[in-house]
Structure 1
Amino acid sequence: MGPLQKYRDLVAAGSIAHDPAQVHVVEKLQALSERLQTPGHGMAKRVARALLRPERGRVGAETRMQGIYLYGAAGRGKSMLMDLFFDTAPVTAKRRVHFHAFMQEIHSGISSQREQGATDPVRHVADAVADTASLLCFDEMQITDITDGMLVGQLLKRLFERGVVVVATSNRHPDELYDGGWNRQAFLPFIEVIKSHMQMLELRHPVDYRRVLAQAEHAYHVPANNKASAAMDALWLRLLDGEPETALTISAHGRSLSLSRSAGRMLRADFKELCVQALGSAEYLALAKALDFLILENVPVLSPARYNEASRFITLIDALYEARVKLIMTADAEPDALYVEGEGSFEFGRTASRLEEMRSTGWWQSS
């Protein structure tokens, strides 16, 4: 059974929903799986020969690729699809590992080789990996510093030379790996190694916001009690669809805002996180630009003593409104009762009006 049939079985059993974007990816994984069925793992050997002696025979661009690099926003099912491929791959010597854990192992191996006086420790470690696995599946590939970037590049280059087939998932296209990092230009040649040996596949799965609204029952929940919180928990789990939460960092004018409950262009945050700390319009504009969807919880009734929080809330809603972000909110009162007295309460009428529009069906049906 290949990954495509297993995917179809899961859909038929109701375990997952049919998704055209996922089908496109799993079909590519199926094609790779079928090439791996060549006796003696001939696909890796054939590709290696073609790369070393291109004048002997011509192979298609997809066949020359020694693996697949699957990227896209969190919550789209990348890990699930890779697992379907790995579980059904007709290869005995195979390994599936989280990228972070793998890199820790590689660092340890290189340290050991240096202690033994190896002149090329990276090559030794890469060869040791290739000797035990002709198929490697990496989950959540990312580069956080230039040392790892250079090491990954050298490691993959050697693995590809050895004919190892690599399948990796990532939230970022290779061109965006270590984007903005120090001395990134030194990593660029290794990005080309990845792109020249792996087929790039983006898992596109635009969120059906009408469906999200139906699952949430409505976009504005009053009051912000345990029942509302439980409803947001259930909705958030459905949106994550098995993918882990990640941190979202927003930078503006030399300041940064870090939020822990993010997935792709979706965010779940508390009023205290966004409106109690001293943030300005630049941060809110950057946040709105980074999001398609926001769950904002526990918005309180605001008093004159909380003018600064009310002012920030107004600025936040304005930024979300202009960026057409879909907002689901839990609050202690209806929009027109959130801030009824104090400085700026009259101007808050526009914010209340925008909140009413943002909870409407028309807003959720718009792009």
Structure 2
Amino acid sequence: MLSIAKRDVPFDVTAAFDLLIPPSRFNNTRFDNYFPNPNYESQSLAKKVTSEFILTKTKRPRRTVIGSLGLKAQPKPGKGLYLDGGFGVGKTHLLGSMWQACTVPKAFISFVDLVNVVGAFGFEASVEKLSELSFLAIDEFELDDPGDTVLISNLLNRIIRRGVDIATTSNTLPDKLGQGRFAADDFLREIQGLAAHFEVLTIDGPDYRATEFHIEDEPRSSDDLVTMAASMPNQSAVSSDSLFGLLEALTRLHPIMYSRLLEGLALVIVTEAKTIDSLAAGLRFVTFTDRAYEHGIPIMIGDTSLNGLFSASILSSGYRKKFGRALSRLSQLRDEGERVVAPI
């Protein structure tokens, strides 16, 4: 059993563009294995619209010929598709399916990683690199930070004018569902000049994790988790760190390297957990959780319940949507961890 808090992961700026493919959890997402909930017609419609969007993309030329002799070609502006909905309705599955079905130059990246990539590479270099694409899929577009929103909106405005089609997802807060499509309204307002290029597609339905997994949980002790994990045959694939030690390690590492921190692991154990009161620490842990979720690496947390992991002030902050998603994902990762340490 190892400590990832003690791992030496040097910053490698060239690694940033290695992230432009779907993470392992979404390797097998296809339109054929997206099964709409029959009680929500919008899910069937979303499957139809997203598949047609990609089919059209593969047939549509990127450039429009100007002039009778065809001597001058100008980029044809790209199109945008925004998937709006609550947690766990299959938005990322559909986004991954679009990427898998796309046959032209393409990339898949989360909003947070895209912000980090631009920060690492620089704005103009990122524009040039992403303009080589024909299709860009952005998961979990976030409006929490005005600076990040402006940065990415400007970036997308540049590349969409160069003919890049964009599809992105975001979450409507559970308490806002049915109230004027809160997230979609915010998205269109914040991207301003880009809004005319985007079609909004709303996907209704419950969070599938709410029926398959349980956020209400009795905490296991750290000692119990370590004892359970000690029975796993490959101890080099198991990490065990205190929550404080892990959070401290995350402060020393650029977020684009969090995936490298998790390489080779089959289970992450977090011991001696207490309520996280610091917003900055909470946001780093959310990013770490997202990377673990995307790569299918279970996280088991000892000594506190998921409901007690983040303080009330954090959960009511402007980033509450991000923390809500993290708790939904942590509930799934915890249950997947139970199956890893005690396989059926």
> Could you say which TM-score interval applies, normalised by the shorter chain?
0.3 to 0.5
Q: TM-score, normalised by structure 2?
A: 0.44
Larger RCO, structures 1/2 (Cα 8 Å, 6+ apart): 2
Q: TM-score, normalised by structure 1?
A: 0.42
